[in-house]
Structure 1
């Protein structure tokens, strides 16, 4: 039996850093939103108790450095199943881009193995497994929208009907998330996170207000350490005349559009001058995905 799970990327609509924790991590408060840019995770049961991963992307590790392999290991250990799995990973989400591509692959692997082995685990139980792999994995198990706190693993899920289009621009720059967080100063911390106001705007479908509420406390740090990302952001804003945002620790930049017509105009303008531009849109939870309109060719 060959089974397919989609691994959806995410963007950060807000990202506030509250403090540095005793364990060395940072306390965050952020609104995360799934988008329909996705990897494809194909799963097939193996009688031999081994995990094999193949990918169309030669730059992706296929051993236990890959979060999908780690997810398969955790799943088999937690369920006590004596079997193996073959994972074929079709990468579409840029790697190390602030879009949670690896975490989403891990989450899709957990969901897919739950179906493959008919274990009947709930999403809550799968999210608990995911927390052992990475802070973003629990969110990716559910998908949709959530406020993420702690290191990002404590979730308050948000059910809204606000639909927006997302234009992604991926600079070919490697950004170290650890370096970005190390570059934070106490002045970058806040005790007034923006997540409450963003969630209110989502629930009230204030599509004209939301782009102005997007905020990422890591963005100035990334721009200072990687000036080429800031230069690209300025170029995108000049071309589109719309606010440009950054997801996670970067380097991926994004714009929001309330209508497909506006999104198409921005996409066509960007494709005329840039290579790695992706047309995407909000999606809901994995159990209730929104009806999606066609993206431009």
Structure 2
């Protein structure tokens, strides 16, 4: 079985409060975007489950990879035969795009289908939530308002069809824990759910990412990317998650050759939503 785990972007990200458990309550809208890894799962040739990773280099032992953690989490609930898993990494890591989380959730989806386990989406999302706060989103993989630590979700009506998206990830990474440590939680005057309900042309200046005030000054490369995207006159632009990727949403097609020239040395995606 072959699947294509996709990335996500965050439309707005409000950090509301720090919780007693050390995590943070947030509000954000997550939206799937067509930047994809490649995941193949087949019956094992041997007696043990294996994971082979190609493409982008991943500095992670096999058992600590979220794909293997997903297999082990499901194996703890139901007897699973061994499988050989092949993962080709294309989505940049350290980008705020949820690539590893997507790989994990798609692994759960694939195993559920491959072995006819009968889990519904809610049950898979429950298992996914034990792997990471972004993971449950990818079980549903549709625009969602995410609250709590990001694992409480409700669908949102959002139609970006006909728009183009540019995502640029400079060659830097932002540690998520460090990014949170430099933020100041606060309740916004206008909730994200209300801003998202208004036309996209009204988002700029209203729909914010609470990581940007501390991340952009600390990482000039990210600030430079955002500045360059804004010079292209997008309808809306922002950093995704805690960075390091920045995206712009446009109402017209974007020419890829121009993008490659402008953002040399960066990972880029140009796609139609």
1:252 partnered with 2:245: yes
Aligned-residue RMSD, C-alpha: 1.9
Q: Does 2:273 align with 1:278? A: no
Structure-2 separation of matches of 1:14 and 1:58: 28
Q: Tell me which residue corresponds to 1:190.
A: 187
Spell out, residue by residue over 1:228-282, the C-alpha distance to the aligned partner (whole angstroms, 9 max, x if none): 21123223323x1335310000010110013xxx2324x4432222132211344
User: How far 1:207 sits from its partner (Å)?
Assistant: 4.3
What residue number does 1:102 align with? 100
Q: Judging changes above 3 Å, is the alpha-carbon distance between structure 1 residues 211 and 42 closer, same or farther for their aligned structure 2 residues?
A: farther
Q: 1:141-160 maps to which residues of 2 (within 5 A)? A: 141-160=139-158
Show the counterpart of 1:24: 22
Residue 241 in structure 1 maps to residue 239 in structure 2: no
- Aligned-residue offset at 1:114: 0.5
1-structure distance, mates of 2:259, 2:215? 22
Q: How much has 1:76 moved relative to structure 2? A: 1.4
- Cα drift, residue 116 of structure 1: 1.1
Q: CA deviation at 1:161?
A: 3.6
**Is the alpha carbon distance of 1:230 and 1:144 closer, same or farther for their aligned partners in structure 2, counting shifts above 3 Å?**
same
Deviation at 1:91, TM superposition (A): 1.4
User: 2:245, 2:56 → 1: CA distance?
Assistant: 21
Rounded Cα–Cα distance in structure 2 between residues aligned with 1:159 and 1:62: 39
Listed as ranges, the matches of 1:48-59 within 5 Å are 50-57=48-55, 59=57
Answer whether contact 2:102 2:135 (CA < 8 A) is retained: yes
Instruction: Give, in angstroms, the shift of residue 78 of structure 1.
Output: 1.3
Give the alignment's TM-score, normalised by structure 2.
0.91
* SS of match in other structure, 1:106: helix
Q: Who is 2:215 aligned against?
A: 222
1:63-212, aligned counterparts within 5 Å? 63-81=62-80, 83-163=81-161, 164-186=163-185, 189-192=186-189, 194-201=191-198, 206-210=199-203
Question: What is the TM-score of this pair, normalised by structure 1?
Answer: 0.84
Q: State how far apart, in whole Å, the 2-side matches of 1:127 and 1:263 are.
A: 35
- Structure 1 unmatched runs, 5+: 283-297
**1:211 CA displacement:** 5.0
Q: How far apart are the structure 2 equivalents of 1:162 and 1:59? A: 33
User: What SS class does the counterpart of residue 129 from structure 1 fall into?
Assistant: helix
Distance 1:174 1:149 in 2: 24
Unaligned runs of 5+ in 2: none
Size of the aligned set, in residue pairs, is 268
Q: Which residue of 2 aligns with 1:38?
A: 36
